[in-house]
Structure 1
Amino acid sequence: MKYRVIEIFTSIQGEGEVLGIPSNFVRLATCNLRCVWCDTKYSWEAGTEMTEEEIISKIDKRIKTTTITGGEPLLQNILPLVKELKKLGHKVIVETNGTVKPSKELRKLVDVFSVSPKLSNSGHKINYNFKDDDWATYYKFVVVYPNKDIDEIVKFVESQSIDPSKVILQPDGNRKDYINAILEIVQVLLSRGLQFRVLPQFHKILNIR
């Protein structure tokens, strides 16, 4: 199996429930969306073709967590790659925009599906359906306009019957006043008594990828 790969590196997981965990990262090429605030636009490119064996040869074998990200990784058949990683005893995290549903076989193997549904602030209007098939480990939303975006998130969560404990909010990573961006979200949540979590993008604070 050949994959179109943008980059392979090792760093600290910067987002979601897995924040702070050392991880290998395999960034796959291409995406079916073009979010206006995307901070990895270079992942929209064609990438370099690599087999799963070539990919695994490039990761740090001491690190037993591997994150498959993009772009949108579920546009490619990642099942063979995931199977090889599981043979090595890896915890596998898949970061996805949620527009492509994983197969039942893939769901059994992947440890964490970090799903980031796109709000209107992305420049897209997407009709998601998680109410009938809630396969996400957690949902991660990028907040650009706190009041407006959180209104939209509340409606999304209610319409999809999502457990609020699975919802994570994070600020727009392009904000130069990043700490203030986090505080703005916190203030809105506290003022409205909402039970969502707010987490930073750890790699933004550390200024690493």
Structure 2
Amino acid sequence: MKYWISEIFTSIQGEGEVIGRPSNFIRMAGCHLRCIWCDTKYSWLKTDGKEMELEEILQSINGLVTTTTITGGEPLLQDLEPLVSKLKEMEHFVIVETSGTVKPSARLRKIVDVFSVSPKLSNAGFKLHYNLKDDWATYYKFVIVEPRRDLREVLALVNEQGVNPSKVIVQPDGNRKDYEKALRELADTVSEMRLPYRVLPQLHRILKYR
């Protein structure tokens, strides 16, 4: 089995409910979206990555770290079942980070520990129509650029799709140079609007990690 890979590295998980965990990162190459604020544009094209055999990928990760995050790009554009199955045989805790535009297979849903789903708001530069009603995500993570406007859009989507508000995480745009100010603005606006969503930072932005 071969995969198109953008990069493999080990770092600290910076986002969502798994924030702070040491993790291997397997970044898949190829994405069908073109978010204007994307910070991994180098992973958009499959051919900008490297084709790697499954065993080569497994040999490239840090064996002392037993959390592995499969990210992208959009990882669900490739068949992840063989890769995740091997990682689970190695007793890894597996996280898949996805836009939620490609639904995982029934088997993949059973063997992945965490699906971190990041639905794209119109601040990404386009408007998508999501169907989240089968609720396969572990949690939903939204990038907020303009807090009041974007949070209204999150609220509308959550209400329309029947998403459990306890699964919703909002975080500021990681491209902001004044990141701490952006985080404060977001937290203040969530409080002012009396929304029940969790406000979390991108830890790697604060720590200046990749």
The TM-score, its normalising length taken from structure 1, stands at 0.99
Residue among 97, 107, 110 paired with 1:108: 110
Note the C-alpha offset of 1:192: 1.4
Q: Which residue of 2 aligns with 1:34?
A: 34
Runs of 4+ displaced beyond 4 Å:
none
Look up the equivalent residue of 1:3 and give its one-letter code.
Answer: Y
Q: What CA distance in whole angstroms lies between the structure 2 residues aligned with 1:154 and 1:84?
A: 38
1:8-39 per-residue CA deviation (whole Å, 9 max, x = no partner) reads: 00000000000000000000001010000000
What aligned pairs does 1:1-209 form with structure 2 within 5 A after superposition? 1-45=1-45, 46=47, 47-131=49-133, 133-209=134-210
Note the C-alpha offset of 1:124: 1.6
Q: What CA distance in whole angstroms lies between the structure 1 residues aligned with 2:126 and 2:116?
A: 19
Q: What CA distance in whole angstroms lies between the structure 1 residues aligned with 2:10 and 2:185?
A: 31
Q: What CA distance in whole angstroms lies between the structure 2 residues aligned with 1:192 and 1:42?
A: 36
Name structure 1 gaps, 5 residues minimum.
Answer: none
Paired residues in the alignment total 208
SS of 2:86's partner is: helix
Look up the equivalent residue of 1:164 and give its one-letter code.
Answer: P
Alpha carbon RMSD of aligned pairs, Å?
Answer: 0.5
Note the C-alpha offset of 1:52: 1.2
Q: What CA distance in whole angstroms lies between the structure 1 residues aligned with 2:206 and 2:41?
A: 20
SS of 2:68's partner is: strand
Percent of pairs with identical residues: 63
Note the C-alpha offset of 1:188: 0.9
1:63-118 per-residue CA deviation (whole Å, 9 max, x = no partner) reads: 00000000000000011000000000000000000000000000000000000000
SS of 2:95's partner is: strand
Q: What CA distance in whole angstroms lies between the structure 2 residues aligned with 1:99 and 1:21?
A: 26
Look up the equivalent residue of 1:20 and give its one-letter code.
Answer: G
